[in-house]
Structure 1
Amino acid sequence: MTQIIRAPKRPGSYRDRLTYAPSGLREAISIAWHSVFPPDLHEAARIPVARGGLPPVAAGETAVTWVGHATYLIRTGGLAILTDPVWSRRIPGVRARLTPPGIAWEDLPPVDAVVISHDHYDHLDWPTVRRLPRGTPMLVPAGLGRWFTGRGFTEVIELDWWESATVGGVSFEFVPAHHWSRRGLFDFCKTLWGGWVIDGSVYFAGDTGYGERLAQIGDRHPGLDLALMPIGAYQPPWAMEPAHVNPPQAVRAFLDVGARRMATMHWGTFVLSGEPLLRPLEWTREQWAAHGLPRERLWDLAVGESRSFTS
């Protein structure tokens, strides 16, 4: 049974949730430029890929597998959950993906729930979403539910920040982020953006810049086990920084939310920005060491790699 805890719905626009002058046009120009004139693509061969299949998950264990970009398979509480699923080789306006999905679609277990962070094409990919059974529970930001119901999905759970739902005994809370939304010409910030706290244990950041909302998540959810944190798409700063953390900011964000471990994402899949392809991973490792954090708590996974923990 699905249970939903809702605050009163807000109409229309979410522009008042912005914490900066959004750089959507500058970001789009930057993405288009770096798609035509990318950083050295020879480095793509060095992006770690380990498609070794899915290990079993023991009772009481949570396992995460990095599929690529912001897509993780999370297996917890008997459920298989996808975050921002993108299996497409291409998304609009961007070069073909650098690395294959870490799990072949046909090797996925039955998907029990999907969480969407926001409506940008690299996080909400219709060619992937349409492959899901229409009865799959879709947990989506406020304002985005109609997009899914109009495409035939029958269990769409639309939440505002700090609202929560329970699917199959696992809790999902939609939490704030420093970002923005737009999918077309006339829908700027008509839908919300954010991250998800799953089962009170896993924080999926989606896309976010650095700011005070990250510490608010940590205050509300002390004792998180794992933060799935973006580390790429930050160069050049004048276009990307307000809406995307760079590696030093990602590590600070991890410390703000107070999780025990951090797993990296949002790098090594699509060319969205100008940093060298391997630099997000290298810089994150450097920052982790500079903070004196235990190396085993940084899960810098290869595409397709899985890790697990017991709370």
Structure 2
Amino acid sequence: MTEQTQRPTGKTGATAPDTAAVRPLGEVRSWPRTFADRLTTPLPGIRGMTRLARERAVRPNAEGLRSIHRLPFAPVPLPLTDSGTCAVTWAGHASWIVRIGGLTVLTDPVWSRRILGTPARITPVGIRWEELPRVDAVVISHNHYDHLDAPTLRRLPRRTPLFVPAGLGRWCRRRHFTCVTELDWWESAELGGVRFDFVPSHHWSKRTLTDTCRSLWGGWVLGDRDGGQRIYFAGDTGYGHWFKEIGRRHPGPDLAMLPIGAYEPRWWLRDVHTDPEDAVRAYEDLGARAMAPMHWATFLLSAEPVLEPLTRLRTEWKRAGHARERLWDLPIGGSRVFAH
């Protein structure tokens, strides 16, 4: 798969203007049958699948698992916040508790011990579900099972506002959620003084044998209109041109939450998963003030040693000359509070 340097174009809004359209909450919309025109690179074919099966490189080997007991897990109570502060807490994988503008927002919440197709999680969830404050909203990046977990969503009141990619609303409404807002790339919606902007990513979607690219994929920029804090949540993505474009349209986010794991074998996953070095490049492209790594230390999704993502990230961060205090490499269950 080869990186394209040109932005995708098509009927589905990929070339929207810089000023994002603000959509009504809960709007029911019609979408094209497929979003395959948004793929940055072609999906792997039979030849790639055959090579992966031949190499059997889908999980860490015994040596790569040896440091599993050293994975960072240090849960603490959620910090106090007020109207002038913002807080993020890493629950594990791509699941964060974000408190911004007086709202509590969950990103890609997965509180289940197991997800389809992978072994049980190798670290517990960083905060017990019963200890969460009232959840005001949920954002979903795409429909893969490690990011869209039906058992976790069933724990929520059905009136909880969900912000999801285009094409995913029907799935949510079938589960009786009553306020589902589907957004295309570069569109936004607002809730309680917080703006939710949906932005592109280098990824894809699939949940069953027949729904490849039937819904969109992307990341989110959450912005507090009063306090001014802005957080970029990448979801799941490879490295590519979208980061500079997101940085141009949403300059200077206070924090970029970027994936650093599930990257080996590289020939297989380069186009859809950033490795630690890619994540640092993405941080630079975005022009963010700080970076928080995610998408590692939770599920065994690929072949790299379990502790390697953090080790490589810290090495690359130092090599690139970035200030150590701007790398928020939290343990699972860890939090950071910041003011604008």
* Structures share fold, TM-score greater than 0.5: yes
Identical residues among aligned pairs (%): 56
Q: Give 1:299's aligned amino acid.
A: W
Q: Give 2:317's aligned amino acid.
A: W
Q: Work out which of the residue numbers 24, 29, 34 in structure 1 matches 2:58.
A: 34
On the 8 A contact 1:39/1:274 being kept in 2, the answer is no
Q: Name the count of aligned residue pairs.
A: 308
Name the residue aligned to 1:18. Answer: 39
Which range moves more in the overlay, 16-25 or 272-281? 16-25
CA positional deviation for 1:80? 0.4
Name the residue aligned to 2:6. Answer: none
On the 8 A contact 1:23/1:242 being kept in 2, the answer is no
- Which stretches of structure 1, 4 residues or longer, exceed 6 Å deviation after superposition? none
Q: Distance in 2 between matches of 1:35 and 1:96?
A: 13
Name the residue aligned to 2:23. Answer: 4
Q: Work out which of the residue numbers 185, 209, 222 in structure 1 matches 2:209.
A: 185
Name the residue aligned to 1:67. Answer: 91
Name the residue aligned to 1:264. Answer: 293
CA positional deviation for 1:27? 7.6
| Corresponding residue SS for 1:206 | coil
On the 8 A contact 1:27/1:240 being kept in 2, the answer is no
TM-score where L is the length of structure 2:
0.86
> How do 1:204-223 and structure 2 match up within 5 A?
204-223=233-252
| Corresponding residue SS for 2:42 | coil
Name the residue aligned to 2:18. Answer: none
On the 8 A contact 1:32/1:93 being kept in 2, the answer is no
Q: Distance in 2 between matches of 1:103 and 1:179?
A: 28
Name the residue aligned to 1:169. Answer: 193
Q: Work out which of the residue numbers 302, 326, 329 in structure 2 matches 1:297.
A: 326
On the 8 A contact 2:142/2:148 being kept in 1, the answer is yes
CA positional deviation for 1:39? 5.9
Name the residue aligned to 1:125. Answer: 149
Q: Give 2:74's aligned amino acid.
A: A
1:287 aligns with 2:316: yes
TM-score where L is the length of structure 1:
0.94
- Larger radius of gyration, structure 1 or 2? 2
Decide whether aligned partners of structure 1 residues 88 and 32 sit closer, same or farther in structure 2, where only a CA change above 3 A counts: farther
The superposition leaves residues 93-125 of structure 1 with CA deviations (integer Å, 9 ceiling, x where unpaired) of 101101000000000001000000000000001
Which range moves more in the overlay, 54-63 or 281-290? 54-63
On the 8 A contact 2:33/2:214 being kept in 1, the answer is yes
Q: Work out which of the residue numbers 223, 231, 234 in structure 1 matches 2:260.
A: 231
Q: Distance in 2 between matches of 1:44 and 1:99?
A: 9
Q: Distance in 2 between matches of 1:262 and 1:63?
A: 14
Gaps of 5+ in 2: 1-21, 225-229
RMSD: 2.0
Q: Distance in 2 between matches of 1:155 and 1:37?
A: 44
Q: Distance in 2 between matches of 1:257 and 1:248?
A: 14
On the 8 A contact 2:172/2:180 being kept in 1, the answer is yes
